[in-house]
Structure 1
Amino acid sequence: MIDQSPEVYQAGQITADWLERTLAAAGHADAGVVGFSTRAVGTGQAAGCFRILPEYRDPRPDLPRSIITKFPSDDEGSANAAANSGTYLREIQFYRTLRAQLTIRTPRSYLAECNASGARFALLLEDLAPADQGDQIAGCDAEMARLSVLELVGLHAPTWDNPAILDLDFVRYTSLPERAANIMQRIYRAGLPAFVDRCAQALEPEELALLRRAADCDELPSEYPRLATRCLAHNDYRLDNFLFVPENPAETLRVVDWQTYGSGNPMRDVSYFIGGCLLPELRRRIEQDLVREYHDAMCASGVKDYTFAQCWSDYRQAAWHGTMYAMAGMAFVRQTERGDRLFATMAQRHARQILELGADEFLR
């Protein structure tokens, strides 16, 4: 268990001395930080993200020109929800423990500290500018979709049925029976009234009816025990959590926001991305081909006990994962105009995906 209370855990606490000591501990000795500026970046709902622009006494090519830092949200409700659920602590553990064992591309970490309660943390990452954040509402084209789905192989294949990773306490947190029994369904039910009040107009009647039906079930289909745990899943794998240069995503893509990963079925990530980040017209045309190419790549990486028939069935069932995330957003994060549009888009696209795949058959 981490118990390393950070010296700095809000942007207003940053000093040049602290920044110099942090860079020295990360391998940049004698950085000579004489000043800095900060500005908010991104659209994070559960944490505050800032870009630090250091000023050096003697600039050198090895010194970072800018740094991205994440701190607890300045919204008390969002920060408390994230700390109580362990999301801050899990992201720190990812960079301290897991990143080096994976081939999925992520930023380098300069600092990853968190206190035992998970309420105070500091995460400093390499700035990948001019890479910018993706936009789930806008969606992406077929080539970006393919690149994103295949990038998941670098997360799923190294952790496939790997107890050295899956049995770590902070990984198992989201799947322990005493913690997880119907917890996703409780979250779903808690967020649904606010969703209906704020976002119902964005959905067709049959889509909204589907979401209402799910609230009456014992558990969301994406959480059934028979959707077997096989590997590490990001659980919020979408365009808003990517950084890339639009003109060259193949070389520049990096995956961020490792706050909600856990042991789970890989198709949660695949179905969540395809269903939530592609416009429905494009999804209909390419989703089965994308899933098959992903499955082929997993098999080529050494996964031998997962048939395509099982993969496709899991993909359909996992489409429900996106509806839960839309309701969780309603329940736990600060309301913003873009946030409401995002959660409405997420729920609508996944409801349409579920209906077109016939995945409502999994409701019980």
Structure 2
Amino acid sequence: MEQRDGGRARMKDTRLPAVADAANLTAALRKAGALDAGAVREVKVLHERDTVVSHITRLGLRYVGESAGSPQSLILKTPHAAFAKPLANAGRHEVAYYTQLAPRTPALLVPRCFDGNFDEESLAWHLLLEDLTDSHEIATQWPLPPSRAQAMAIVAALARWHAAWWDHAGLGETVGVWASTDDTAGHMETFASHYDRFADQLGDRLSEERRTLYRRFIDRSDRMSLRYHSHRHLTITHGDAHIWNFLLPRAGVSDTVRIFDFDLWDINVPTHDLAYMMALQWYPERRQAFERLLLNHYHDTLMAHGVSGYTRGALDQDYRRSVLWHITKPVWQWSINIPPVIWWNNLERVMMAVEDLGCEEILG
């Protein structure tokens, strides 16, 4: 469909939301300092796909006038139609990260955001992000684990990102919100309700030994939360730090790893992300082969980027505690109708890690 804008013809793909038409993209790029005198003339869908909870569209742009240095393509992220309302808070949260925190994050750790908005009335949201398709790629096709070199690069990027917010003065003030003891108790009450239904539905597929572990964990959740409520050696955590949320430079490209998908970021114990990546996602042989190596590399990178007073022993203690916390993740995933192929395998893997690392003894 052809439209007229100031005497110039511009093309609009009828599949695109209004936020991605030529006029809106021109305004967004100018506001972000990515476009000077030129204007977007044509917008084309290069590729689009659904993730579990969002819709990703790769946009190709053509300009009229001066556009040197302006992006030739963008990533438009919008809600997945099936989860737009139930997971609206995830969109709100991710927009907040990219518009408020990303500008304060060291360069080349996350994709650049050119525009983002969450509409509280309609619950519609969008993000216009830097397109790294030509320079970066994810490590593997899901669910394959990474190579050693890929895992080392990913963990180093995570450590650099954690270090940037480590015990930051703004935590709980201008960066995120501290959960009170009442908040964490209420969160666990909600979890316990979900768990009861989860266990009922699984029946004998959830063993009595695992049921006992869950009951003990729920009963001792106040004790488990003390580490968080210390407000010491905490940082911004990703919340969904599997390896497929990291973009690695393609072969022959000299660049850094980028972290993306920030709908679950929060203030938390840093090992929450490491345990999610390894204990929840990797089967024992791979996890055991890499776990110590990656924890050492993570700690070394933290120290090299200004973190102090956090010992290697403290990292081990936090990691084991975080692995135990992640027995809750499959239940939360089940509660929002994430497919069983995800939460069932996560359940099996994390339970094997709990046993392997002796995490149950933390409960006393």
Give the TM-score of the pair, scaled to structure 1.
0.80
**Superposition map of 1:286-325 within 5 A:** 286-325=290-329
Q: CA RMSD in A?
A: 3.2
Residue 32, structure 1, aligned to residue 32, structure 2: no
- Aligned-residue offset at 1:96: 1.9
Aligned equivalents of 1:273, 1:22: Cα separation in 2: 34
SS at match of 2:17: helix
Among candidates 154, 158, 171, match of residue 148 of structure 1: 154
Query: Does the 8 Å contact 1:11/1:71 carry over to 2?
Result: no
Which sections of structure 2, spanning at least 5 residues, go unmatched? 1-14
- Aligned-residue offset at 1:314: 0.8
Larger radius of gyration: 2
* Corresponding residue number in structure 2 for 1:158: 164
Aligned equivalents of 2:56, 2:199: Cα separation in 1: 26
Aligned equivalents of 2:196, 2:133: Cα separation in 1: 37
| Paired AA for residue 102 in structure 1 | T
Distance 1:101 1:60, change over 3 A: closer
* Corresponding residue number in structure 1 for 2:172: 167
* Corresponding residue number in structure 1 for 2:75: 68
- Aligned-residue offset at 1:271: 1.7
Render the CA deviation track for 1:187-233: whole Å, top value 9, x for unaligned.
Answer: 365267458858997xxx76x84266315623659952224442111
Among candidates 84, 87, 93, match of residue 82 of structure 1: 87
**Superposition map of 1:51-62 within 5 A:** 51-57=58-64, 60-62=67-69
Aligned equivalents of 1:325, 1:283: Cα separation in 2: 18
Aligned equivalents of 1:283, 1:67: Cα separation in 2: 35
| Paired AA for residue 357 in structure 1 | L
Query: Does the 8 Å contact 1:238/1:277 carry over to 2?
Result: yes
Aligned equivalents of 1:195, 1:149: Cα separation in 2: 34
Distance 1:185 1:305, change over 3 A: farther
* Corresponding residue number in structure 1 for 2:260: 256
Which sections of structure 1, spanning at least 5 residues, go unmatched? 1-9
Aligned equivalents of 1:153, 1:258: Cα separation in 2: 16
SS at match of 1:244: strand
Distance 1:323 1:221, change over 3 A: farther
- Aligned-residue offset at 1:348: 1.8
Render the CA deviation track for 1:218-268: whole Å, top value 9, x for unaligned.
Answer: 365995222444211112111232223564698352111111111111111
- Aligned-residue offset at 1:151: 1.3
* Corresponding residue number in structure 2 for 1:342: 342
Render the CA deviation track for 1:158-209: whole Å, top value 9, x for unaligned.
Answer: 2222222x12366116x244433241562365267458858997xxx76x84
* Corresponding residue number in structure 1 for 2:56: 49
**Number of residue pairs aligned between Structure 1 and Structure 2:** 340
Aligned equivalents of 1:345, 1:222: Cα separation in 2: 28
Render the CA deviation track for 1:85-135: whole Å, top value 9, x for unaligned.
Answer: x33222222222222333371100010212346922221101111334454
Among candidates 95, 98, 101, match of residue 95 of structure 1: 98
SS at match of 2:30: helix
Query: Does the 8 Å contact 1:188/1:327 carry over to 2?
Result: no
Distance 1:74 1:128, change over 3 A: same
| Paired AA for residue 62 in structure 2 | E
Aligned equivalents of 2:246, 2:101: Cα separation in 1: 18
Distance 1:184 1:41, change over 3 A: farther
**Structure with the bigger percentage of helix:** 1
- Aligned-residue offset at 1:342: 2.2
Query: Does the 8 Å contact 1:235/1:261 carry over to 2?
Result: yes
SS at match of 2:255: helix
The range that moved more, 191-200 or 290-299, is 191-200
SS at match of 1:139: coil
Give the TM-score of the pair, scaled to structure 2.
0.80
- Aligned-residue offset at 1:54: 2.3
Higher relative contact order (CA 8 A, sep 6+): 1
